[in-house]
Amino acid sequence: MPIAEILIFEGRSDDQKRAIMRGVTDALARSMDAEPERIRVILKEIPTNHFSVAGVSIADSRAAGNPPGKK
């Protein structure tokens, strides 16, 4: 039974999350010759203030209008 765990930043709509899970299921079914009913997808959302690049949280980078990791 294939299991995929995906980490994303919070903020996507339920429709976007459904699309991610469908797309991953379809990709695993094709690439692993697995039945979609046997595939499990775990989607975890990370709050943007719980992740940083170069010591600056994604939330702070976005608030400042700077892409994460750029000076």
**Alpha-carbon distances, residue 67 vs 11, 19, 33, 35, 64 (angstroms):** 16, 25, 38, 39, 9
Catalytic residue among 2, 36, 47, 67: 2
Let me know if 67 is a catalytic residue.
no
Catalytic residues: 2
